Amino acid sequence: MIIRELTTIELDVLLDLYNSVGWTNYTRAPEMLLKAYENSLLTLGAYVDDKLAGIIRAVGDGFSVVFIQDVLVFPEYQRKGIGTELLHELMNRFPDVYQMELMTDNTSKTVSFYQSVGFVKADDMGCCAFMKM
């Protein structure tokens, strides 16, 4: 597997990836999704045999905060360490950032995954999260 920074990405590839993991709220607004990627702080892609296997996208200023917006791995590549490697590479790119954050589904699978790479639930730190959609 090779991880590399993505400065451009084709919309059809993004739509295939998001659809493959059931994130259809994003695929219903393809232009918004493309603009989001174009304005991200950092996007990394994981490639297996020159084929995109997964992606991670971060937003923020890179100094006080990095927000991990998306971690997606095509189903056929899941459970092979690709998401973990993407997270490690992103964290290595911002070793001195004050806080690295993410929001995800509150399932035992996702909680266990993020805890395994060093993340702590916000409420365990005396914090709470708010959203407006």
Q: Domain of 31: which CATH number?
A: 3.40.630.30
Give pLDDT, residue 106: 87
Asked if the structure places residue 78 within a domain, the reply is: yes
Domain count for the chain = 1
What whole-number distance in Å separates Cα of residue 62 and Cα of residue 95?
10
Consecutive 10-residue averages of pLDDT for the chain (133 residues)? 93 94 91 93 96 97 96 95 96 96 89 90 89 85
What whole-number distance in Å separates Cα of residue 29 and Cα of residue 1?
30
Give pLDDT, residue 105: 84
CB 44 within 8 A of CB 86: yes
Asked if the structure places residue 132 within a domain, the reply is: no
Question: Torsions phi, psi of 5, nearest 5?
Answer: -70, 140
What whole-number distance in Å separates Cα of residue 86 and Cα of residue 43?
10
Give pLDDT, residue 71: 95
What pTM does this model have? 0.91
Give pLDDT, residue 9: 87
Asked if the structure places residue 102 within a domain, the reply is: yes
Asked if the structure places residue 61 within a domain, the reply is: yes
Asked if the structure places residue 76 within a domain, the reply is: yes
Helix (H) or strand (E) holding 95: none
Asked if the structure places residue 130 within a domain, the reply is: no
Asked if the structure places residue 19 within a domain, the reply is: yes
Q: What is the DSSP letter of 81?
A: S
Structural domain of 85:
2-125
Asked if the structure places residue 131 within a domain, the reply is: no
